Amino acid sequence: MSPVVLAVGTIGHGELSSDQFREASRCSTCHGIIHSQWDGSMHSNAYIDPFYQKELQVASEDTEGSIDEFCLRCHTPIGVTSGEAPGGELSEVSREGVQCDICHSVSGNAGIGSASAPFILSPGNVQRGPLKESKSTYHETRYSKLHTKSEFCGMCHYVNNSNGVLVDDTYKVWKNSSYSAEGTQCQDCHMSPGVTSFESNPGRSASGAPKRDHISLHYFEGANAFVTDILDEETHRRRAIERLKKAAAMNIKSPSNASENEYVGLEVLVTNSGAGHKIPTGVSEIRQMWLEVSVTDDNGKQIYHAGNIDKQGDIKPGIQVFNTVLGDGNGNPTMKFWNAESILSDDRIPPKETVVQKHNFSIPEGVEYPVYVNVKLQYRSAPQDVIDDLFGKGTHEVPVINMAEKSSRINDPDAPPGEPSMPGFGANILILMFSVLIIVHYRKYR
């Protein structure tokens, strides 16, 4: 039984030939800027991605190869529709993963959710895109409304496994969010400089083409600072980190005073302020987002520490990780999403929503005030032990990205009033005002 369920009208395995598609280098002569943005993106690396390749191998061994076509359909659509994959020798254009000519040959959507990757393809001389009046001597052009809508992305960013478990719900969550209601598409945040909303990018889409108010960006960065690092894609790695830093807002609620031996309850509020889907999204059973909370006294003595990473690279147990946990046939947690039969838990943060995480600790005797609270929202693309199992221990360290950081302090309630033990808030404001004055002065009389 093939796990690939195809929608009526879509193109199946081996129905096309790879020479019906042109390599990205053929487009770069005229679309040089767009090409340089796409080149190095996770789309351009969707097939060669070493993490994907390792997971594919595990999935393939697990299912005696029956899953391969399903996985490959999104990661090398030309490979599968040309019949080169699975099993055969892949041409250059198939190895380019999600590339120019495949995306711009999409001529329809056969129904997201009805089947796997329901794109309808019409390869040939017509390039379909967002421009209503555009002319090229190299190819024909055709306006495609689909390319300007989330449905275009949703055909691949919505993954139902063969048991019918929705393992990637990015499109669906967006569809049910206020972003969709307001008309904000994936393209507005992922193909414009705005990151969390639309911002125009004036320019030319091809050499010699007219100047336009907006040309879409093709970096397609998400949150992947791990594989982009392995593949030395520095621009895309940096952009992923910048994007992660714009996704969430954080606040701490802690008492301003607490005496020795007093029990302190700390609340950390995390809001998904910038993403049109849950954070994290995509293969969210593999991604990890969590809070690291550190409390120290004025001598730097650790009072409380949660969410730190131990020597093995594991997150210290006991903290909630904001991701999904999938269940296998016996209801046990599994990261093998192709086998999953249920979703055991989903602790991700929906768009515009806030979650509260509580931490409790007590102020030890003999503490040196003030007590400092530091909270970091951390993200990494995969748990270290998963990567160690796949690649061998010591091969790749998964980078931890700091998405947001906040600090607060707790003072001695018995300290005489007006005599803070450190330059307090007031003093900080004064220092800040002084520096502002100095800067203004410098600017004026330079």
Residue nearest to ligand HEC (CB): 282
Residue with smaller CB distance to ligand HEC, 352 or 406: 352
> Are residues 180 and 355 in contact, defined by beta-carbon separation less than 8 angstroms?
no
When asked if residue 93 is in the footprint of ligand HEC (CB under 6 A), the reply is no
Chosen residue from 90, 155, 231, 293 binding ligand HEC by CB under 6 A: 155
Q: How far is the CB of 225 from ligand HEC (least distance, A)?
A: 8
Minimum CB separation of residue 347 from ligand HEC in Å reads 14
367 or 387: CB nearest ligand HEC: 387
Element (H, E) at 431: helix 425-445
Contact between 123 and ligand HEC per CB under 6 A: no
Separation CA 112–CA 108 (nearest Å): 11
Q: In whole angstroms, how close is the CB of 431 to ligand HEC at the nearest point?
A: 34
DSSP state of 112: B
150 makes contact with ligand HEC (CB under 6 A):
yes
88 touches 69 (CB < 8 A): no
Is residue 340 involved in binding ligand HEC (CB under 6 A)?
no
Residue 305, SS3 per DSSP:
strand
Interface of this chain with ligand HEC, residues 246 to 275, rule: CB under 6 A: 246-247, 274-275
Using the rule CB under 6 A, is 43 a contact of ligand HEC? Answer: yes
Helix (H, G, I), strand (E, B) or coil at 5: coil
Q: Does 95 bind ligand HEC (CB under 6 A)?
A: no
Pick the piece of the chain touching ligand HEC (CB under 6 A) from 185-193, 251-259, 390-398, 416-424.
185-193
> Among 108, 111, 129, 327, which residue sits at the site for ligand HEC (rule: CB under 6 A)?
129
Q: Does 104 bind ligand HEC (CB under 6 A)?
A: yes
Q: Is the dihedral of CA 120, 126, 128, 133 positive or negative?
A: negative
Hey, which residues between 284 and 303 contact ligand HEC (CB under 6 A)? 287
Q: Which of 7, 11, 16, 71 binds ligand HEC (CB under 6 A)?
A: 71
Residue 386 found at the interface with ligand HEC (CB under 6 A): no
Tokens of 361: 């600790």
- Give the Å distances, CA to CA, from 327 to 2, 257, 285, 347, 434: 22, 44, 10, 15, 58
Q: Would you say 280 or 370 has its CB closer to ligand HEC?
A: 280
Residues 204-243 that bind ligand HEC (CB under 6 A): 205-206, 208-210, 212, 215-216, 218, 220-224, 227, 240, 243
Instruction: Find residue 304's DSSP bridge partners.
Output: 295
Compute CA distances 183 → 169, 176, 177, 247, 367, whole Å.
19, 12, 10, 19, 53
- C-alpha 157/C-alpha 151 separation (Å) is 9
Shortest approach of ligand HEC to residue 294 CB, angstroms?
23
Question: Please, are residues 235 and 40 in contact by the beta-carbon 8 Å criterion?
Answer: yes
Nearer to ligand HEC, 86 or 370 (CB): 86
CA dist 102 and 147 (Å) reads 12
* 390-397: long-range pairs with CB below 8 Å, 24+: 390/51, 390/54, 390/55, 390/58, 391/50, 391/54, 396/226, 396/230, 397/313
Residue 411 binds to ligand HEC (criterion: CB under 6 A): no
Min dist. Cβ of residue 417 to ligand HEC (A): 44
By the 8 A CB rule, do 380 and 226 touch?
yes
Q: Between residues 31 and 409, which has the closer beta carbon with respect to ligand HEC?
A: 31
User: Is residue 114 within the footprint of ligand HEC (CB under 6 A)?
Assistant: no
CB burial string 112-141: b at 16+ within 10 A, e below:
beebbbbbbbebeeebbbbbeebeeeebeb
Residue closer to ligand HEC (CB basis): 186 or 258:
186
Q: List the one residue from 11, 16, 90, 191 that touches ligand HEC (CB under 6 A).
A: 191
